[in-house]
């Protein structure tokens, strides 16, 4: 606005690209996985924006412990009253629903919500797959509920790609690796959070590039 030359602005902000022209806003919404991942990100050298500032990225984290899929739309609608639509909307949800909900009904509700969110202007929906756990509280069969998780991930991944969205698989996390989890077998340890954040950072960077 003050007619300052672009190369001067880039020099002041130490930008090597034209990222100064407009920031890319990314929302990461989910349960305790997101809550603890944010806390871990703040303690890492790359910080809350996962080192993606060179692309003009600003990440907003919304991790609510115990959050379930049915709470997603209300949360997004509340945030949209105060902020413009993000360019990327990452959802890390579903693990708290698998045991308590009928799997078919849950997947139907997921698709309904994703379809609604896909209509946000200039927003790319991103599905981050439900993570494995070492122990699913309340499940009659640990093997059966993990099979439900895998089927849900496959079905929702296919669906969101049809909506021209993106998928983050988080395939480097395994319930066989005890070092990735805390003592409860549910929440990620520091090592697990580092693996999660690295995959998140790599996926987001590939979307941007």
How far apart, in whole angstroms, are the C-alpha atoms of residue 79 and residue 38? 18
Residue length, the chain? 209
Q: pLDDT tens for residues 82-91?
A: 888 999 999 9
Share of the chain above pLDDT 90, in %: 81
CA distance 159 to 96: 21
Q: 148-158: per-residue pLDDT in tens?
A: 999 999 999 99
Taking all residues of the chain, what is their mean pLDDT, rounded to a whole number?
93
pLDDT at position 2 is 63
What's the pLDDT at 21?
60
pTM score: 0.88
Name the nearest CA neighbour of 131 among 155, 149, 104, 154.
149
58: its two tokens: 């600003």
The pLDDT of residue 20 is 58
134-137: Cβ within 8 A, 24+ apart: 134/175, 134/178, 134/181, 134/185, 134/186, 135/184, 135/185, 135/186, 136/98, 136/99, 137/99, 137/186
- Are the C-beta atoms of residues 131 and 187 closer than 8 Å to each other? no
Classify strands 124-128 and 57-63 as parallel, antiparallel or unpaired: unpaired
pLDDT of 1 > 60? The answer is: no
pLDDT tens-digit map of 18-70: 655 667 999 999 999 999 999 999 999 999 999 999 898 999 999 999 999 99
pLDDT at residue 22 in the model: 65
């Amino acid at each position: 606005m003050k007619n300052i030359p672009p190369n001067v602005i880039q020099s002041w902000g130490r930008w090597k690209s034209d990222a100064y022209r407009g920031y890319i806003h990314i929302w990461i919404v989910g349960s305790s996985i997101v809550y603890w991942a944010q806390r871990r990100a703040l303690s890492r050298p790359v910080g809350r924006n996962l080192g993606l500032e060179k692309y003009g990225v600003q990440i907003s984290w919304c991790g609510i412990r115990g959050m379930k899929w049915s709470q997603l739309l209300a949360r997004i609608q509340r945030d949209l009253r105060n902020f413009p639509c993000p360019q990327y909307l990452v959802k890390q949800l579903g693990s708290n629903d698998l045991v308590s909900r009928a799997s078919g009904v849950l997947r139907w509700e997921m698709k309904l919500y994703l379809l609604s969110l896909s209509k946000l202007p200039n927003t790319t929906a991103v599905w981050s797959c439900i993570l494995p756990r070492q122990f699913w509280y309340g499940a009659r069969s640990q093997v059966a509920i993990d099979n439900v998780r895998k089927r849900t991930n496959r079905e929702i991944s296919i669906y969101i790609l049809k909506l021209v969205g993106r998928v983050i698989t988080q395939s480097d996390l395994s319930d066989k690796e005890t070092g990735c989890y805390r003592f409860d077998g549910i929440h990620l340890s520091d090592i697990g959070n580092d693996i999660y954040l690295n995959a998140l950072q790599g996926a987001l960077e590939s979307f941007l590039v």
